[in-house]
């Protein structure tokens, strides 16, 4: 009862009350419980790491990793990839003129044609990427410069975008849709692929412009204001186009209402900011032929038809077009395969070393330990 004078003790759980010890037959109230937990006697597994005990682990790792590595390496090698730089920095490049005469306000498109040769046919679906180098899409202020609510179709955000979009938030008193630096710097080159038959005829290869963005992005994250059925022009009424854009957002793909406005897939892909300054973004998909007899892209001569709009000279950037087949492991990258093979070998080697050590020293310890 008087224990309040001794708060310190109280808090320890010792009730130094008037009860006190004593009296005949006092129960031992303070006796701690004899449980395994409280007495710290819980059954425990006490691994001791010695060469003898961990030897198998090293061998197992080695034996698992090496096959995985080989598998990865082979898969990566089977992926066909073709890359062409069309920045136009060298005078020899067909795009040299375009690259140097460029400004965002150009009204007449600058078109350049780059011929290239595929040495081997590309089977199955071929993915067409554009690649940018030295483009820091991961710059902190750049990354932030967007309004996800606006892109999600939120009406209030449409007319009053987030402050994060500054200074690409308003233009002439109208709010910009889509606002922010990311949208403003949307990649706007147009790439076309033309196959030159050996006989001289050309055919423009059909490129799928849908299916390049994440399904969830297209259907959940990005939405046009007022739903996708409405007339986009009215939905975006009262907004301005981003400064660098030639046309408003609702004219990104007038041909397909399912690919227009915020849910335009080129736009969505661009808005998913790249992690590293050198990146590629999926541009189009070339679907494999129905009849399966012909490869998707047979080997031969091609021409890349570029509507050159996007300036990269200010940051010494490079623009590339990449054609790639893909496998279960994504694009071509031999690194992981090599890494697995290396680590597997190292583990195997360590296993052998430990085996030797175990034979030389481990037994010595054991002998010393056992008294007989």
Partner 1 sequence: MKWTDPVASIRRRWGRHRQEQEGAVRTLVSNLPYEDLKKKDHPNCQYKSNVIKTTKYTLWSFVPKNLYEQFHRVANLYFVGLAVLNFVPVVNAFQPEVALIPICVILALTAFKDGWVDLRRFQMDQKLNNLPCLVYSRIETGFVERRWKDVRVGDFIKVVSNEIIPADILLLHTSNPDSVCLMETANLDGETNLKQRKVVPGFSAPNSPFKPGGFKSTVVCERPNNDLNHFSGYIEKPDKKKLGFGIDSLLLRGCTTRNTDESSGIVVYAGHETKSMLNNSGARYKRSKLERKLNADVLYCVLLLFSMCLIGALGHAIWLETFSDVPLYMVPDSEGRFIPPTLAGFYMFFTMIILLQVLIPISLYVSIELVKMGQVFFITQDLDLYHEETDTRIQCQALNITEDLGQIQHVFSDKTGTLTENKMVFRRCTITGTEYSHSENAVRLAVLGETDASEDEVTLFQQRRKRRQPSLFAEDPGEAAGRCHDAQADVASYQSSKVAAGVHSDLAFSSPLETEVVPDRKLLQVVLEADRLREGGSLDQGLNQGLERSLYLDFFVALAICNTVVVSTATAQRQRVKGRRNSYAPQTVWGRLRGFLKKTGSPWSASKFVAGKQEPLADPFAADEEPPDISDTPDIYTTTPEGGNPKTQSEVTSNQAQRQRPDPTRPGSASPDDVCYESQSPDESALVHAARAYGSTLLERTPDRVTVLLPHGTLLSYEVLDILTFDSTRKRMSVLVRHPHTDEIILYTKGADSAVMEILEDPAGESVSQCELRKRVCSNTQRHLDMYARDGLRTLCFAKRVVSQKAYEDWSLIRQQAISAIANKEKLLMDTAILLETNLTLIGATGIEDRLQENVPETIEALREAGMQVWVLTGDKTETAVNIAYACKLLDHKDLVFTLNTNNKAVCQSILESTLEEVRRYGPDPVFRGLGEGFGVQASGDLGEDPTIGLVIDGRTLSLVLEEEDLRSKFVELCRHCRSVLCCRVTPLQKSTVVKLVRDKLRVMTLAIGDGANDVNMIQAADVGIGIFGQEGMQAVMASDFAISRFKHLRRLLLVHGHWCYSRLSNMVIYFFYKNLAYVALLFWYQFFCGFSGTAMIDYWLMIFFNLFFTSVPPIMHGIMDQDASKTTLLSFPELYKIGQHSEGYRRSAFWIAMLDAFYQSLVCFFIPYLTYQGSDIDIFSFGNPMNTVSLFTIILHLAIEINAWTVVHWVTMLGSVLLYFGVTLAFSAICVTCNPPSDPYWIMQQQMADPMFYLVCLITVVVALLPKYTLQVLRGTLAPPPLLYARQLERQPPSGEEQIRIDVSQAPPDPRFTLSGLSSPPPSSPPSPIQTRHPQKL
The residue among 140 and 290 lying less far from partner 1, judged by its C-beta, is 140
Question: From residue 205, how far is each of 44, 114, 129, 192, 369 by CA, in Å?
Answer: 67, 15, 15, 8, 77
Residue from the set 124, 125, 162, 196 that interacts with partner 1 by CB under 8 A: 162
CB 114 within 8 A of CB 304: yes
Element (H, E) at 148: helix 148-151
23 near partner 1 (CB under 8 A) = yes
- Interhelix angle for 335-357 vs 51-78, to 10°? 160
Residue from the set 60, 63, 174, 276 that interacts with partner 1 by CB under 8 A: 276
42 near partner 1 (CB under 8 A) = yes
Q: How far apart are CA 332 and CA 126, in angstroms?
A: 13
Near partner 1 by CB under 8 A, which window of 95-103, 148-156, 200-208, 227-235?
A: 148-156
The residue among 14 and 100 lying less far from partner 1, judged by its C-beta, is 14
77 near partner 1 (CB under 8 A) = no
Q: H/E/C letters for each residue in 20-43?
A: CCCCCCCCCCCCCCCCCCCCCCCC
Residue from the set 218, 241, 280, 284 that interacts with partner 1 by CB under 8 A: 280
209 near partner 1 (CB under 8 A) = no
Element (H, E) at 195: strand 190-196
26 near partner 1 (CB under 8 A) = yes
Q: How far apart are CA 364 and CA 72, in angstroms?
A: 42
The residue among 255 and 372 lying less far from partner 1, judged by its C-beta, is 372
85 near partner 1 (CB under 8 A) = no
137 near partner 1 (CB under 8 A) = yes
Nearest to 271 by CA among 239, 299, 249: 249
Total binding residues for partner 1 by CB under 8 A? 121
The residue among 15 and 288 lying less far from partner 1, judged by its C-beta, is 15
Near partner 1 by CB under 8 A, which window of 194-202, 257-265, 288-296, 326-334?
A: 326-334
Q: What is the CB neighbour count within 10 angstroms for residue 353? A: 12
Q: How far apart are CA 333 and CA 79, in angstroms?
A: 9
Residues 6+ apart with CB under 8 A from 50: 358, 362, 365
From the CB of 261, what's the least distance to partner 1, in Å? 17
49 near partner 1 (CB under 8 A) = yes
- Strands 174-176 and 239-240 come out as parallel
Query: Per-residue x/- marks for partner 1, 219-248, CB under 8 A?
Result: -xx---------------------------
Strand partners, 112: 306
CA 302, chain centre distance (Å): 30
The residue among 5 and 92 lying less far from partner 1, judged by its C-beta, is 5
User: By CB neighbour count within 10 A (0-12 exposed, 13-18 middle, 19+ buried), where does 209 fall?
Assistant: middle
135 near partner 1 (CB under 8 A) = yes
Query: Per-residue x/- marks for partner 1, 51-70, CB under 8 A?
Result: xx-x------x---x--x--
The residue among 247 and 364 lying less far from partner 1, judged by its C-beta, is 364
43 near partner 1 (CB under 8 A) = yes
335 near partner 1 (CB under 8 A) = yes
Q: How far apart are CA 62 and CA 54, in angstroms?
A: 13
The residue among 291 and 369 lying less far from partner 1, judged by its C-beta, is 369
340 near partner 1 (CB under 8 A) = yes
343 near partner 1 (CB under 8 A) = yes
């Amino acid at each position: 009862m008087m224990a309040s004078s001794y708060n310190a003790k109280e808090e320890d759980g010792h009730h130094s009350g008037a009860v006190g010890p004593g009296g005949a037959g006092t129960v031992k109230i303070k006796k701690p419980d004899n449980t395994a937990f409280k007495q710290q006697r819980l059954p425990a597994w006490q691994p001791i790491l010695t060469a003898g005990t961990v030897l198998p682990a090293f061998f197992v790792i080695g034996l698992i990793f090496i096959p995985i590595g080989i598998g990865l390496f082979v898969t990566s090698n089977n992926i066909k990839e073709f890359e062409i730089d069309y920045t136009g920095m060298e005078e020899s490049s067909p795009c040299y003129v375009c690259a140097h005469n460029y400004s965002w306000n150009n009204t007449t498109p600058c078109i350049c044609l780059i011929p290239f040769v595929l040495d081997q046919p590309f089977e199955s679906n071929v993915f067409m990427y554009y690649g940018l180098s030295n483009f820091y899409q991961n710059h902190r202020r750049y990354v932030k410069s967007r309004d996800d609510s606006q892109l999600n179709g939120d009406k209030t955000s449409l007319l009053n975008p987030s402050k994060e979009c500054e200074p690409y938030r308003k233009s002439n008193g109208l709010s910009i849709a889509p606002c922010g630096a990311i949208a403003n710097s949307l990649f706007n080159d147009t790439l076309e692929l033309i196959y030159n038959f050996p006989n001289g005829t050309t055919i423009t290869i059909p490129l799928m412009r849908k299916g390049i963005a994440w399904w969830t992005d297209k259907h959940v994250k990005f939405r046009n204001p007022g739903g996708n059925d409405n007339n986009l022009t009215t939905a975006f009424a009262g907004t301005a186009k981003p400064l660098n854009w030639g046309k408003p957002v609702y004219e990104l793909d007038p041909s397909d209402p399912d690919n227009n406005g915020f849910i335009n897939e080129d736009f969505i892909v661009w808005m998913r900011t790249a992690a590293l300054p050198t990146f590629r973004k999926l541009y189009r998909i070339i679907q494999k032929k129905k009849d399966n007899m012909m490869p998707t892209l047979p080997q031969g001569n091609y021409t890349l038809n570029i509507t050159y709009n996007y300036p990269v000279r200010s940051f010494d950037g490079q623009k590339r077009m990449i054609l790639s087949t893909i496998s279960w492991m994504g694009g071509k990258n031999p690194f992981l395969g090599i890494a697995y093979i290396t680590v597997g070998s190292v583990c195997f080697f360590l296993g052998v070393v430990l085996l030797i050590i175990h034979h030389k020293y481990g037994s010595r310890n054991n002998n010393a330990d056992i008294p007989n």
